[in-house]
Amino acid sequence: MTVNRRQLGAWLSLGALPPALAAGRGAAPGARPVRLDLGHATAPINRFFTHCVGADYPGVTGRAANLAQLQLAADELGFRHLRFHDIFHDELGTVRQRDGRLVFDWQAIDRLYDAMLAIGMRPYIELGFTPGVMRSSNQTIFHWKGNTSHPQPGPWVELVEAFARHLIARYGAAQVRQWPFEVWNEPNLDGFWERADQQAYFDLYARTARTLKQVDPGLQVGGPATAGAAWVPEFLAHAQRVGAPVDFVSTHAYGVTEGFLDEYGQSDRKLSPDPQSIIGDVARVRREIDASAFAGLPLHFTEWSTSYNPRDKVHDSYISGPWILSKLRGVRGLAQSMSYWTYSDLFEEPGPPDAALHGGFGLISRDGVRKPSWFAYKYLNALRGQEIPSADTRLLATVDGQRLALLAWDLQHAEQPSSNSVFFGQPVPSGPAAELQLQLHGLRPGRYRLQLHRTGYQRNDAQTAYLKMGAPRTLSPAQLAELQALTQDRPELDRAVHIGNTGTWRWRVPMRSNDMVLLTLAPAKATPSAAG
C-alpha cells in the first residue's frame, strides 16, 4: 500500500498509524470502496430513529435542567416523542380519594406536557404505575418508589377514562391521536408487575384498551412493553381471543449477554459480540406479529441500548456510537421506532447520579457533556431527503436538493476478556480500519463546501479524557470546560471543492476501528476557509 504525504498527515492527525505502517499491530485492512450514484436516490430515508427517546419519571423529567437538555436533544438530534415511567406517580398529586370517590388534579401533568410540546416533542404515554389510592400492595421499584402492584380494576378504568378525556379536552383529539398509549412497563418482570402475572396483565391491557377506544376510537393503544422481547405471541393471541384492540406492539431489548433488570446498577455484564444482538430480537418479533391475526402491525422497541444497567461504563464509551448505528441500520423496515433509553444522565431510578461520568443511560451527562452516543444520533439527524442506495452495510447517505450527507462507521467488537465495568473503566485505544474510498456520481457541476466530522477514540470522546483525568466524581470548572471543548464536534475538514462537468467526485477518508464520520457536501454560498 502506497501512502502519500497527504494521507500520512491525515492518519497522524488522528493519533494513529496508517495501515501500511501498522502491520506490527495486526493485519493491514484492505480498502473500502464506496460508489454512490445520486441519480438512484428515489425514496425518502426512513427516519424511524428519531421517533422516540426515553427519560426518567415525571418528578425528574419536569425539572428545569432536564427540560433544557431535552430542548437540546430535540434541536440537535431531532427526537419527536418522549417516553417515561409512572405518569401517575403520587408525587404529582394527580389522583386522590375524597369521601370515597376519586378526585383528579391534572395540573402537574399538564405543565410537563405543555413544556414538552413547547420544545417540539409529543408524549409517548406509558400508562402506569399504580397510584397509592388504588394499590393492591406496597410493592415499589426504584429510588423514587413507583408502586408496581396490580391496580384495583374499577378505579383504574375510571382513571384511564378521565385521563384520556382530559387530554382530548385540553389538547384536541387530532393532537392526542398522535400520542401512543402503551399499557404498563415490563410486566414479565416481578419488579415491575407483581408476580409477573401474565393473565393479570392481559386483563389489565384489555380493560385499558377498551376504555381508551370508548373515549375515542382514534387513540393508539398497544403493549405488552415486555423485557427481552417476550410475551408477544401470547399477548396477540389473547387480544384476538377476547377482542381487545391493538394498534401496535411494543417490547424491549438490550445489548448485554444476559439478564433484564438491574434496579440499582449493581450487576456487571459484557457487551454481546453477536452481530445479531438487538437485530435478531427485532426480526423475531416482526415474524411473530406477521404470523398472528395482527399481521403488519407497527412494532415499537420502546427501550433499547447497549446495557440495562444504569451504571454501565459502556454507555459512555466511543464504541457505543458505531454499535448504535449498526443496530439501527440492521432493523430498518422491521421496527417502526427504536426508543433509545435514555436521552439524559439526569436520571434517578438508582438514585441521583453519583459521578460526572458514571455509566448512566443518557446520551448526555449530568453536566451537559455530550457522549459519543449523542453524536451517533446527531449524525443520523443530518440525513435528510432521498436516500442514496448503497450495498455497504456500514453506511447511510442522502441527498436533499443538492446537499449530500454521508454517514459511515466502522464497528469492530474489541476482544473483551473482562466485564464492562473493568474493560470500559480504562481507555480503549482504537486500531486500524479500511480507508473509505468514495466515488460519487450524479453531482451537479459547481463549487461545493466539504465538511467532515468524526467521533471515535479521542474525538468527541469525553470518556477517555475523563479517565485520563483520574475519573473525578465531581468536575472542577476547568475540567468541565476541557470536556466541553473536546466534544464540540468541530469539523476536522472544512474546505471548498469543485465538481467538474462529469458530475463525478472522488475522496478518501482514513478510518480507525469504531470511528463514525459524517461527510457533507453542499453548494457553496461563499468560499469557506480551507482547513484540514
C-alpha cell at 118: 413547547
Q: How many Cα atoms within 13 Å fall on the side-chain side of residue 405? A: 18
Residue type, 35: R
Which of 303, 349, 387, 435 does the annotation list as catalytic? Answer: 303
C-alpha cell at 141: 421499584
Q: How many CB atoms lie within 10 A of CB 149?
A: 18
What are 494's strand-pairing partners? 451, 531
Q: Tell me whether residue 466 is exposed, middle or buried, using C-beta atoms within 10 angstroms of its C-beta: 0 to 12, 13 to 18, 19 or more.
A: buried
Q: Tell me whether residue 101 is exposed, middle or buried, using C-beta atoms within 10 angstroms of its C-beta: 0 to 12, 13 to 18, 19 or more.
A: exposed
Residue type, 122: R
Which pairing describes strands 299-305 and 337-340: parallel, antiparallel, or unpaired? parallel
Residue type, 389: P
Rounded CA-CA distance 437/34 in Å is: 6
Catalytic site includes residue 303: yes
Smallest Cα–Cα separation from 356: which of 235, 496, 466, 206? 466
Catalytic site includes residue 186: yes
CB 402 within 8 A of CB 385: no
C-alpha cell at 344: 439524559
Degrees, nearest 5: CA angle 530-531-532? 140
In whole angstroms, how far apart are CA 448 and each of 106, 162, 326, 384, 451?
53, 56, 29, 18, 10
Q: How many CB atoms lie within 10 A of CB 385?
A: 15
Which of 76, 182, 186, 435 does the annotation list as catalytic? Answer: 186
Q: What is the dihedral of CA 19, 20, 26, 28, to 10 degrees?
A: 70
What are 141's strand-pairing partners? 146
C-alpha cell at 121: 416533542
Only one residue has cell 492527525, namely 13
Q: How many CB atoms lie within 10 A of CB 148?
A: 27
Smallest Cα–Cα separation from 216: which of 271, 269, 265, 179? 179
Rounded to the nearest 5°, which phi and psi values hold at 199?
-65, -40
Query: What's the chain's length in residues?
Result: 532
Q: Which helix (H) or strand (E) holds 34?
A: strand 32-37
Ordered DSSP codes for 81-111: EEEES-TT-GGGT-EEEETTEEEE--HHHHH
> Prior bond to 202 cis, omega within 30?
no
Rounded CA-CA distance 156/205 in Å is: 11
Q: Give the residue numbers marked as catalytic.
A: 186, 303
